[in-house]
Amino acid sequence: MIFTVAVDGPAAAGKGTISRAVATEFGFAHLDTGLLYRAVGVVSELRGVDPVTVARSLSPEDLARDDLRSLAAGDAASRVAVISDVRAALVDFQRSFARRSGGAVLDGRDIGTVICPQAEVKIFVTASAEARAHRRWREVGGDEAQVLAEVRARDDRDMNRAEAPLRPAADAVRLDTTDLSIAEAVARASALIRTCLPR
């Protein structure tokens, strides 16, 4: 069975947590596409190598780095994600993963609009900037006001980039997690997926 679930949304809205949970529930493969961009950004900065070169030669070791969840890695990802040749280098990998046999869940910022517009389910996970910044602050610490400023700056970059800007697909179902628990958000996403599965 080929069945793709596209989960998009801004940073710290909960898309990764929801995606991992529903992938486990339905036995689908899961790909956090943001990790691809985080790895490209971090590796290119550390090695002083052109991001396009890194994107074309990403290794499993690059994706397994333990620093890919940091704020710095998120910023690096946002910077390289605006480079069209980086995006092109990673598109084929993501599309192939999305249409693999057995079902797949991909989370990112342009899955339903660019990577896999034919996905059987499209969910746009969102939350207020304040709620997302508070979640990120609890995860990484630091000055919460600064984290909020960084979340807003990241949103601005992601939503206003020339290529594949962050926006919901026209047929995506919006899931606002501002006031939802993780369990509630996962339950809503699972219910939607269940209604779209082939009988």
> What's the pLDDT at 175?
98
Tell me the two tokens of residue 121. Answer: 């389910």
> What's the pLDDT at 90?
93
> What's the pLDDT at 174?
97
- CB distance 21 to 186 below 8 Å: yes
> What's the pLDDT at 129?
95
Q: Is 10 known to sit in a ligand binding site? A: yes
> What's the pLDDT at 93?
84
Q: Is 104 known to sit in a ligand binding site? A: no
Q: Is 16 known to sit in a ligand binding site? A: yes
Q: Is 142 known to sit in a ligand binding site? A: no
In eight-state DSSP terms, residue 111 is I
| Cα–Cα distances in angstroms (integers) from residue 72 to residues 50, 75, 136, 178, 187, in the given order | 18, 5, 12, 24, 32
Residue carrying structure tokens 């909960």: 14
> What's the pLDDT at 133?
95
Using DSSP bridges, classify how beta strands 29-32 and 173-176 pair: parallel, antiparallel or unpaired: unpaired
> What's the pLDDT at 59?
85
Q: Is 60 known to sit in a ligand binding site? A: no
> What's the pLDDT at 165?
87
Output the tens digit of pLDDT for each of the chain's 199 residues. 899 999 999 989 999 999 999 999 999 999 999 899 999 999 999 999 999 999 999 888 898 899 998 888 988 998 998 898 998 999 988 998 899 999 999 999 999 999 999 999 999 999 999 999 999 999 888 899 999 999 999 899 889 888 888 899 999 999 999 999 999 999 999 999 999 998 8
Distance, first Cα to last Cα, the chain: 12
> What's the pLDDT at 74?
87
- For the 4-189 domain, the top CATH level (class) is alpha beta
Beta-strand runs (E) in the chain? 4-8, 29-32, 104-108, 121-126, 173-176
